[in-house]
Amino acid sequence: MKILFAYQETDLTDNLFVVSLIKSLRDKKLQIDSSVDLFWNSNIKYDIIHIQWPEELFKWGSVSKEDILKLSTRINHLKNSGIKLVYTRHNSQPHYKDKNLIEIYKIIENSVDSIIHLGYFSKNESLKSTHYSKRIYHTIIPHHIYLGYYDTNIDQSEARTKLGIPNNSLVILAFGKFRNFREKVMVLLSYIFFKQSNKFLLAPRLFTYSNARFGKSLINKLINIFVKIFEKKFHAKVMINSEIVSQDLLPYYLTASDIVFIQRYKILNSGNIPLALLFRRVVIGPNIGNVGELLINSGNPTFDPKSISSINRALLNGVSLFKQNKGEKNFTYAIDNLSINYITDLHIFLYNKIITGKTLESCQ
């Protein structure tokens, strides 16, 4: 079986989803290529081409009307060549609204042979859409954990010392880039009104402004002043950094925390939940999309992102679960349900089903 992942492997990524999946598939003796250029230019007769993020096909740059036509033409060529197409639905739509990119999403979701969903919410959402082909095979394969990729045995005291966090704190980690103003307000207000004497907020990418653009500007100076006041008054470490957290530092952030806060106002999936489970952390998040589904299934608190009181109840519940050693139960859940070996086998089963044409029977 020869498979192309339409994905450009790079050392700069902070997302190990595809990298770890490819490695596990190769360990099981599948022939895997990983390249965006091969998607567009290769004449190799792959059995399957597996698309992840639509943005990846255009190297996360802008998309023109010509690109829309180019993609349609290329997909038609690949399908006419007998190549099967699989798409993992990480997002319902692009994070940042762009009509051309939205059209790219629609083309991919309507052209592939199979769509992998990371939860039932995503599958049901797609099946309800009237513009998608009824001949597409929908299946659910959960987001795997990255066991063996990070050091999960770092001492918490060591991690907090490295990051400059008081050892006696209850640390709430809001990880990942904050995408909009609403997410910033949601976290900051809920944290301010959260009644916990030893609380400490760790938000490494709250303000992701480029120093090259805002370094000497008035807006950057005002943000810096606000951050210093907020950190001192409310006990927090809120960085202004456009760069991703390095793979070396990531385990220190997870280890230093007690509760991981999924800070999304609108979301389908979050890779930070499997990360939190792997690091034995309690995790709270919005009861939205596959995120709410996974949190409920694993016994972690959910909230309504439009309600500060709802978020604070989830935080209080999270503290209670933390004291009950919920983190260990989260780890067990992750090992039992989200191991890379299990998830890889589900992918191989799907690939074989598509190649033999058995998915067509399931669609009828």
Question: For 41-64, what is each residue's pLDDT tens digit?
Answer: 999 999 999 999 999 999 999 999
More confident residue, 97 or 212: 97
76 burial via Cβ count (<10 Å: 0-12, 13-18, 19+): exposed
Domains, the chain, with CATH or none: 2-144+339-363 (3.40.50.2000), 156-337 (3.40.50.2000)
pTM for the predicted model, two decimal places: 0.91
Q: What is the mean pLDDT of residues 167-195?
A: 93
In the predicted model, is pLDDT for residue 14 greater than 70? no
Task: Give the number of other Cβ atoms within 10 Å of residue 331's Cβ.
Answer: 19
Q: Give the Cα separation of 271 and 16 in Å (integer).
A: 9
What is the distance between the alpha carbons of residues 46 and 8, in angstroms, rounded to a whole number? 17
Amino acid code (one letter) for 211: N
- In the predicted structure, residue 210 carries a pLDDT above the cut 80: no
Query: Helices (H) and strands (E) in the chain — how many of each?
Result: 16, 12
What pLDDT is stored for residue 296 in this prediction? 98
Contact at 8 Å (CB) between 39 and 57? yes
Predicted local distance difference test score (pLDDT) of residue 291: 98
The pLDDT tens digits of the residues spanning 294-308 come to: 999 999 999 999 999
Looking at 29-38, 130-139, 145-154, 259-268, which range is the least confident one?
Answer: 130-139
Q: What is the reported pLDDT for 216?
A: 55
Calculate ∠ Cα 241-245-246, nearest 5°. Answer: 135
pLDDT of residue 354 exceeding 80, the answer is yes
Q: Is 161 left (phi over 0), alpha (psi -120 to 50) or beta?
A: alpha
Residue % of the chain over a pLDDT of 70: 92
Residue 201 carries which side chain, given as an amino acid letter? Answer: L
Q: What is the pLDDT of residue 111?
A: 94
The pLDDT value recorded for residue 212 is 46
Rounded distance between C-alpha atoms, residue 86 and residue 100, angstroms: 21
Q: Model confidence over 213-251: pLDDT tens digits?
A: 545 577 777 777 777 877 787 788 877 665 678 889 999
Secondary structure of residue 33 in the 3-state scheme:
strand
List residues bridging with 85 in a β-sheet: 49
pLDDT, tens digit, 9 for 90 and up, residues 96-152: 878 999 999 999 999 999 999 999 999 999 988 756 667 899 999 999 999 999 999
- Average pLDDT taken over every residue of the chain: 91
Residue labelled with tokens 């009307």: 65
Residue with tokens 């106002």: 265
Tell me the C-alpha distance between 122 and 352, whole Å.
Answer: 23
Residues 6+ apart with CB under 8 A from 357: none
Q: What is the mean pLDDT of residues 144-162?
A: 96
The CB density around residue 190, as the number of other CB atoms within 10 Å, is 24
Asked whether the predicted pLDDT for residue 285 surpasses 60, the reply is yes
- 123 contacts: CB under 8 Å, gap ≥ 6: 117, 138, 139, 140
When mean pLDDT is compared across 12-16, 22-26, 157-161, 230-234, the lowest value belongs to 12-16
| Alpha-carbon span 354 to 331, nearest angstrom | 33
Angle between helices 308-323 and 181-192 (to 10 degrees): 60
Q: What percent of the chain has pLDDT over 90?
A: 77
> What are the distances in angstroms from CA 270 to CA 46, 63, 260?
30, 25, 12
Position 364 pLDDT exceeds 50: no
- In this prediction, residue 24 carries a pLDDT of 97
